[in-house]
Each structure stands twice: as structure tokens, then as C-alpha cells.
Copies of this chain bind each other. A is one copy, B any other.
């Protein structure tokens, strides 16, 4: 009934994740259906359930991968360029970024995801703690994260379409417009 050699895909999980990532960026999250992924892997429509509890679990896995990649991207940059790196990541993988931060996946429900999601703040915190002149490194790191995060979101959504002909340059300028409160005295 089946060709013997292809009954088992063998690499289904990674294959699914790979085409999921592609499909996500190309057609958005709505177009990302388990069945479509199964089709692309040349496998029955229910096979993915052997590897993911459901659609949401697959998305969570994708997002977790995204957090790791973002963490690495930030770690590769020197302290001051982190903000731009953050925005660049978002602009390069818009749909992935939205999946990660779109609120559709609740962190509490996916341990792996919650774990992965800690990376960006940790990375920022490390840098800010190294600056003793700051009044409050934690608050400053939080503010920095919020700033670049909001900037990324707003750029993606096109809210700065007029002001930002060159998004990267715009991001640099906006980030440059901000100072952090320093220790009194």
C-alpha cells in the first residue's frame, strides 16, 4: 500500500519546523496550518501530531527557537549596538518576532518557551550592570528593552512609515535621543 522506503519520514520534526519557519515569514501565521506543513513534508495530515501536541505547541517551538536566535544575535554585539541589533532582528524576521511577542502564546503554558524568553533581558542586564554610573541598572535595562522592543513593533506595523524611510537609521536616531537617569551626585 505504501512505498516501503518512505513510510517513515525520519526527519519529520526538524523538517516541519523548517518549513514552518519559511511559511511563517512568507505568508504569515494564518497560513501556517499543520496540514499544510504535513503536505509539504509529503506526509499524512495527522503525522505532525506525533511530534507536536498541536498547532500551538508547534508555534511555541518555533518561538522558542526565535528567542534563542535573538539571544545569540544580542550576545554577538558590543554593548551599545545591542539596541540596533534587536531592531534589526525584528525587521529581518518580522513574523517570527510577532509570533514571539504577539501574546498568542502564553509563556506560562510552555516551559521551554518561558525559559528561552528570559534571554534578551538577561543580555541587556549584563551590559547595564557594567555601568556603575547608572542610578538603577535594572530599571534602565527594562527601559532599554522596552524602548527597542516598542521601536521594533512600531516599525514593523508601519507606524513610522513616513518618518522612517531608512528604518535602521531611524532606529539609531531614536535610540540616540534617549538618556538613562544616572546616579545623583
Residues of A within 8 A of B (CB): 28-30, 94, 98, 101-104, 106-108, 117, 121, 135-136, 138-140, 142-143, 145-154, 156-160, 163, 170, 173-181
Distance (whole angstroms) from the CB of A48 to the closest CB of chain B: 19
Q: With A and B bound together, what is the CA distance between A69 and B103 in angstroms?
A: 21
Q: With A and B bound together, what is the CA distance between A106 and B94 in angstroms?
A: 13
**Contact with A179, one of B104, B107, B178 (Cβ below 8 angstroms):** B178
Q: With A and B bound together, what is the CA distance between A151 and B175 in angstroms?
A: 15
Is A173's CB under 8 angstroms from B139's CB? yes
Q: With A and B bound together, what is the CA distance between A163 and B125 in angstroms?
A: 13
Given contacts A107-B158, A108-B158, A153-B101, contact A147 B138 (CB under 8 A): no
Is A174's CB under 8 angstroms from B146's CB? yes
Given contacts A139-B174, A143-B178, contact A98 B102 (CB under 8 A): yes
Given contacts A103-B153, A139-B173, 20 further A-B contacts (CB under 8 A): A94-B103, A101-B153, A101-B157, A102-B103, A103-B156, A107-B158, A107-B159, A121-B159, A135-B177, A136-B177, A138-B163, A142-B163, A143-B174, A143-B175, A149-B150, A150-B152, A150-B153, A178-B179, A179-B179, A179-B181
Q: Which residues of B contact A175 (CB under 8 A)?
A: 143
Q: Which residues of B contact A140 (CB under 8 A)?
A: 177
Is A142's CB under 8 angstroms from B160's CB? yes
Q: Which residues of B contact A178 (CB under 8 A)?
A: 143, 147, 178-181
Q: With A and B bound together, what is the CA distance between A107 and B176 in angstroms?
A: 28
Distance (whole angstroms) from the CB of A30 to the closest CB of chain B: 8
Q: With A and B bound together, what is the CA distance between A136 and B176 in angstroms?
A: 11
